[in-house]
Amino acid sequence: MIVKPKIRGFICTTAHPEGCKAIVKEQIDYVKNAGKINGAKKVLVIGASMGYGLASRIAAAFGCGAATLGVIFDKQGSDSRTASAGWYNTAAFEEFAAADGLYAKTINGDAFSADVKNQVIDIIRKDLGKVDMIVYSLAAPRRTCSDGTVYSSVLKTTGGDFTNKTVDVKSGEISEVTITPATEQEIFATVKVMGGEDWKEWIGALSSAGVIEDGAVTVAYSYIGPEITHPIYKDGSIGRAKDHLAATAKEITKSIDGVTAYVSVNKALVTQSSSAIPVVPLYISILYKVMKEMGLHEGCIEQMQRLFAEKIYGGGVKTDENGLIRMDDLEMRADVQEKISKVWNSISSGNISECADLDGYRTDFNRLFGFDAAGVDYEADSDTAIGIPSIL
């Protein structure tokens, strides 16, 4: 079929197979050109099909030369319906990995479930023996726990109402949005979904099964951001979950032998999950404009390549005084943030095209689903039913 984007709010319900493949290839080429990384050799990536997880898998495989096992939660396509973008990304990743002689297998299922954890353990035992790195990069709206309880995360404040500017990415219209406070129950649920509990369950299960190499590293991702976004992010319900994630890193390191856990604070970027947060897309559009003009802009792959090459494996893990790896170092630079604050105060629907990189935002959003890739013929027929080699 000829695949066109079908955007509904902040999701696109179609994905382009060749486009996804081209964008995965661009990321692989970036990592290969950046040079070899003396790092992990057997890597498990949980949440491996999109955004930071996919970029981590690419950095591990094509930078470190690692065997990778990925956990994804994606939809297969058919002749009449496209797969999810993560499915096509993973199919392409495995194909490129095989071409370079790299081991790559993928499990498609709910990473929160005991069943998927057991499947992963079985494959590691059979194929790899042990893993020396575990990347935990889930961004999920809900979690079903082992007793059947379903928790849904919310993006709300934890104080009073918060009113600020937000943008309709499609029209470029700026308006005010008011975000209401989460209830204690909603905060609890958000921590259940996006906090560290499941990360610790993963590491505990892998450790008990004896499939973690002594001296292994595990990393999960967080965000802090500037004051403009604090009420909705750092001090909001999601921020509570991220606090829990950071506390869990310390707990894992203390209570599970042979593994050290880190939280890496990454840069704000357009991904499927960040586009759902009010206020943040406007901030990201301004951030893109400022960082591109200053020659400091990075996407997921630049961030993850640098994380692996410089912060985790380039001669000892580099953290701040709180034990956090700071991949947001460039975003949070005082000169970058000063420029953003000035723009934030004066930006309106009338001047958005000069003040923010809305086109860059839109392009990155389209590229999440395989659209806007260079060299792809979007008028040609696509095989939407392609399989992931290790699954089908």
The CB-nearest residue to ligand NAD is: 51
Q: How far is the CB of 136 from ligand NAD (least distance, A)?
A: 8
Instruction: Rank residues 1 and 276 by Cβ distance to ligand NAD and give the closer one.
Output: 276
Out of 82, 158, 272, 382, name the contact with ligand NAD by CB under 6 A.
272
CB atoms under 10 Å from CB of 335, counted, come to: 10
Instruction: Rank residues 1 and 5 by Cβ distance to ligand NAD and give the closer one.
Output: 5
Instruction: Rank residues 222 and 382 by Cβ distance to ligand NAD and give the closer one.
Output: 222
Out of 28, 58, 71, 355, name the contact with ligand NAD by CB under 6 A.
71
Out of 273, 305, 366, 382, name the contact with ligand NAD by CB under 6 A.
273
Amino acid at residue number 330: L
| Residue 237 in contact with ligand NAD, rule: CB under 6 A | no
Catalytic residue numbers? 233
Instruction: Rank residues 63 and 196 by Cβ distance to ligand NAD and give the closer one.
Output: 196
Q: Are 68 and 57 in contact (CB under 8 A)?
A: yes
| Residue 73 in contact with ligand NAD, rule: CB under 6 A | yes
Distance CA 41, CA 228 (A): 40
Q: Stretches 203-211, 247-255, 263-271, 336-344: which one binds ligand NAD (CB under 6 A)?
A: 263-271
Q: How far is the CB of 282 from ligand NAD (least distance, A)?
A: 13
Out of 14, 218, 266, 366, name the contact with ligand NAD by CB under 6 A.
266
| Residue 187 in contact with ligand NAD, rule: CB under 6 A | no
Query: HSE-up of 34 (CA within 13 Å, CB side)?
Result: 24
Distance CA 382, CA 369 (A): 14
Q: Stretches 45-53, 288-296, 347-355, 383-391: which one binds ligand NAD (CB under 6 A)?
A: 45-53
Q: Which residues contact 10 (CB under 8 A, 6 or more apart)?
A: 169, 272, 275, 276
| Residue 268 in contact with ligand NAD, rule: CB under 6 A | yes
Q: Stretches 59-67, 215-223, 246-254, 374-382: which one binds ligand NAD (CB under 6 A)?
A: 215-223
| Residue 72 in contact with ligand NAD, rule: CB under 6 A | yes
Give the contact letters, 76-115, x = binds to ligand NAD (CB under 6 A), - = no.
----------x-----------------------xxx---
Instruction: Rank residues 233 and 344 by Cβ distance to ligand NAD and give the closer one.
Output: 233
Q: How far is the CB of 167 from ligand NAD (least distance, A)?
A: 16
Which residues of this protein are in contact with ligand NAD, per CB under 6 A?
47, 49-53, 71-74, 86, 110-112, 137-140, 221-223, 266, 268-269, 271-274
